[in-house]
Amino acid sequence: MMNSDDNGVRSVGLDIGTYSIKLAAFALRADKKTLIALNEKKISSRANLDEKTNVIREMFKETDLHPNEVNLSIFGPEAIVRFVNFPKMSRAQLEDALGYEAEKYIPFNMNEVIMDVAILDPIRETEQMRVILAAAKKNAVEELIKICKNLNLEIGVVDMDPFAMFNAFLEVNSVQTGPTFALLNFGHSRTDILVADGKEPVFIRQIPIGGKDISEAIARDVAIEFDAAEKCKSSKTEENSEKILKATFSVLDRLIKEIQLSFGYFENRQRKKIGEIYCSGGMIAQEGVLGYLNEKLNVEIKKWDPTEAAAKSADVFRNGTDTSVPQFAVCMGLALRQP
């Protein structure tokens, strides 16, 4: 049970990324969901369990939250999602079949993973149904469990970043989309893609390229330390600006190729065209990035900031949250997840 008070039930989502930890809290009362707190804190590149625990404790203090329970997510190299077609069968039969067959789809040692399945709608005019297989390495889940134990917190839901982002989109987005659209999250270590048909996810891919790669390229080309390169990305100085842009664009070129491959694969296989593309994530806060992506991908990528459309309490940005960066999609989607 989550904390309860005058604001109704409170629900907290924590997104433990590789650049920063992000927190969102909603007050849930009847069918009204009000965003009551947001916070973000940077962590060091080799942050261990203790550092993450301390940062989260600090974030709760700053936001004056004392939750009993949080929703978390997992993604990255230790997690995978697959969409697979199976003959129509019950959940029990599917779980049984996966006991033998899961390793065909999941490229991890099956003794070291935690797996979950979801059955989607049956495929029209066939005897098949679509299934989502999601698997995460046990050690990654165990890290989350330890962090929560240190903080005396129960875990509500363990989700995956793209599903959490999509949940936020479904819950607090006010735009009208066509039938098939894509959500992109440009993070620090990764870029995640989710393609949806209406309310159903149909394709997920993670590309291991993000803001970290841009910082590394800048550090290399300008011959500065990584931390200095990180700072360059958000400063407006003219110094080395040409080299910085060139390094940035070289990384974006690689990323664009991967995005195009993913979109091409999806559109060919499913014979569907992706209409709108909405993006979030810290990486697009760097000046020039979104413009370059738009130009080279030859489609319009709209920046999507879930905090804009959400009902908010007046003091939600009290911790000096940088609102120019649309980085809260995942933690908001987590906080809005029903257990």
Ligand X SMILES: Nc1ncnc2c1ncn2[C@@H]1O[C@H](COP(=O)(O)OP(=O)(O)OP(=O)(O)O)[C@@H](O)[C@H]1O
Which stretches of the chain bind ligand X, using CB under 6 A?
17-20, 187-190, 210-212, 230, 233-234, 281-283, 285-286, 325, 327
Contact status: 17 vs Mg ion (CB under 5 A): yes
Other CB atoms within a 10 A radius of the CB of residue 5 amount to 8
Selected from 187, 210, 306, 326, the binder of Mg ion by CB under 5 A is: 187
Contact status: 333 vs Mg ion (CB under 5 A): no
- Smallest gap from residue 180 Cβ to Mg ion (A): 24
User: 184 vs 285, which CB is nearer to ligand X?
Assistant: 285
User: 187 vs 306, which CB is nearer to Mg ion?
Assistant: 187
d(CA 193, CA 204): 6
d(CA 249, CA 193): 20
**Which residues lie closer than 8 Å to 128 by C-beta, 6 or more apart?**
85, 86, 87, 88, 122
User: Which option in ligand X, Mg ion, none does residue 18 bind, with CB closer than 5 to 8 A by kind?
Assistant: ligand X
DSSP secondary structure string for all residues of 4-38: EETTEEEEEEEEE-SSEEEEEEEEEETTEEEEEEE
User: 156 vs 187, which CB is nearer to Mg ion?
Assistant: 187
Sign of CA pseudo-dihedral 240, 207, 171, 178? positive
User: 93 vs 234, which CB is nearer to ligand X?
Assistant: 234
Region from 84-92, 181-189, 249-257, 315-323 binding Mg ion, contact rule CB under 5 A: 181-189
- Smallest gap from residue 238 Cβ to ligand X (A): 17
- Count residues binding Mg ion (CB under 5 A): 2
- Smallest gap from residue 22 Cβ to Mg ion (A): 8
Report the DSSP beta bridge partners of residue 131.
Answer: 84, 119
CB 296 within 8 A of CB 151: no
d(CA 115, CA 159): 12
- Smallest gap from residue 15 Cβ to Mg ion (A): 6
User: 131 vs 187, which CB is nearer to ligand X?
Assistant: 187
d(CA 248, CA 242): 10
In the block, residue with structure tokens 């879930």: 306
User: 221 vs 267, which CB is nearer to ligand X?
Assistant: 221
- Smallest gap from residue 317 Cβ to ligand X (A): 15
**Under the rule (CB under 5 A), what is the footprint of Mg ion?**
17, 187
